[in-house]
Structure 1
């Protein structure tokens, strides 16, 4: 089922040591476009309606500031606040107008482990860019967060936010709020951190062409190309500036209430294979290290 409160993943905000340098990469190589700038931060959009997909703020080190979802209605925001507290989280900022580009109103919370999430409604949207080049990201497909307790993280998203478990592998829980197989997933780890941010491309051809552009720019494939099991999406992973792991993906499985929730026994691979195709390289040591390195900004600093 879809979440009655949350409509979609909208954006991820990061602190980075040099937002302008990072923005140069994300526009010239990754193929996003600048939506706005404010107070040293750069807001980057895709070809879809979301005001921005990625916000780059100045900071001494690379951190996740927050993950932002779009609420289904303004009335959903106070409900989310109440459910957050009931599920063991905290309200960091009650519903209030958003002062950054995109506007609208937002609720800001932290889960039991201090991860910061925002829920916005009434934010500005762009007209869809019908003149987009084929290999430009459309929107965010999902964000994967590492968790020292995947079951606890999953339970919070189910109880507080109304998400539904699509699949559970030995290492990961895949959760959805709409028809995408997942828009957030939690991976088993000894630290709570950012695993990667996935950008939805228009098609498989764009995933491959974007990967070639990255290699031409000196960013080798960190994992892929391949096709995942849960979600059935094609992928290419890279380590971008300041150690952020980013993914080009396409053909994400669309599901409804008839989708049978899978367990670890449903997602096993033959020896030596870690995706459906089995043609791409496995994750490199560099990408494995980067997938563990970036923590959330402390909620106490908010």
Structure 2
């Protein structure tokens, strides 16, 4: 039996790194997020168009790591139901459901996935007064999706489907080798996913822009400021969303995107797209050619936080 429908949406991604000051400046002043809370060596950053109190948490640490990926649930009862199912399947908890002491509070559980990432699922978290992003305003509306690298993608994708109720939207392959899996927890084509890589690590976080014009203005701003653009601008086949990928100050890949596909759960059937057809990577044909050297930049460093709970 799968845990169907107990996760409703992606909340935030929490990352740690030694160069905290540089990262904080990048996400606030360059990427376009708004700091809603801070403490010594910790910054909570919101997207202006999102009701989430924060979509990125930065934390200063001697080692670079992914602290956790957080998802929402509809109610505390659903958090408890999910926890019972996880315990019954032998999943190791970081902590049992409890009142959270992070901004917004709420009620949540944390646990390790099969590769040691920390996952949080919470409900009753306070929301913030967000706003409509204006025309030509090139800042993120919301956190769109997060993808992670994994050396065991078939096992890990199955783990998230069976234990957390994610659904497979589409798969990418090169020839006969599958390399990328897009997972959904609502009607957005994907909120989470996995990329075949040499080790478990953060792959990229993607931020939805108001529209194509705002997406291009944000892309151009980063380019003019001298930030390395890995790939883009272009438009993917899977998800039908635009893309421009950059590196932040810690070497994590971040993406501006827009117009991510909304799917009909009753009629959707997963596709397998072969990237040997360049139109499956970029429908517009405007992006620089993706090659193994560019792809390797998003393999990232080995995640030092596996099976280690973050300090907060």
Q: Pick the TM interval, shorter chain.
A: over 0.9
Q: Which moved more, 1:43-52 or 1:271-280?
A: 271-280
Q: CA deviation at 1:33?
A: 0.7
Give the Å deviation of 1:21. Answer: 2.1
Give the CA deviation at 1:283: 4.0
2:175 corresponding residue in structure 1:
none
Post-superposition offset of 1:290: 3.8
Deviation, structure 1 residue 127 = 1.6
How far has the Cα of 1:106 moved from its partner? 1.4
Among residues 236, 260, 275, which one is paired with 2:282 in the alignment?
Answer: 275
What SS does structure 1 have at the residue aligned with 2:299?
A: helix
- Once residues 97 and 121 of structure 2 are traced to their aligned partners in structure 1, the CA distance between those partners, rounded to angstroms, is 9
The answer to whether residue 166 in structure 2 is matched with residue 159 in structure 1 is no
> Can you list the C-alpha shifts for 1:153-203, whole angstroms capped at 9, x where unaligned?
111111111111111222111110001001001111221111100011111
Name structure 2 gaps, 5 residues minimum.
173-177
CA gap of 1:301–1:131, structure 2 versus 1, over 3 A, is closer
Q: 2:274·2:280 contact (CA, 8 Å) conserved in 1?
A: no
Match status 1:292 vs 2:300: yes
**Separation (CA, whole Å) in 2 of partners of 1:101 and 1:206:** 29
Contact 2:133–2:210 (8 Å) recurs in 1 = no
Q: Contact 1:4–1:72 at 8 Å: present in 2 too?
A: no
Distance in 1, Cα, partners of 2:214 & 2:81: 39
SS in 2 for 1:128: coil
Alignment of 1:95-174 (within 5 A): 95-130=97-132, 134-169=137-172, 170-174=178-182
TM, length-normalised to structure 2: 0.90
CA contact (8 A) 1:224 1:283 kept: no
Q: Deviations over 1:27-67 (max 9, x none)?
A: 11101110101242000000111100100001112210000
Q: Which stretch shifts more, 4-13 or 100-109?
A: 100-109
Q: How many residues align?
A: 301
Alignment of 1:13 onto 2:14: yes
Indicate whether 1:216 and 2:224 are aligned. yes
Q: How does 1:73-84 map to 2 (within 5 A)?
A: 73-84=75-86
Aligned pair 1:236/2:248, yes or no?
no
Give, in whole Å, the separation in 2 of the partners of 1:182 and 1:131.
Answer: 22
When residues 131 and 239 of structure 1 are mapped into structure 2, their CA distance, relative to the original with a 3 A threshold, is: closer
Deviation at 1:286, TM superposition (A): 5.6
- Using the TM superposition, give the Cα deviation of residue 87 of structure 1 relative to its aligned residue in structure 2, in angstroms: 4.1
CA shift, 1:148, in A, is 1.4
Shift of 1:14: 0.5
Question: Is contact 1:244–1:294 with CA below 8 Å preserved after alignment?
Answer: no
Distance 2:144 2:304 in 1: 20
Distance 1:226 1:162, change over 3 A: same
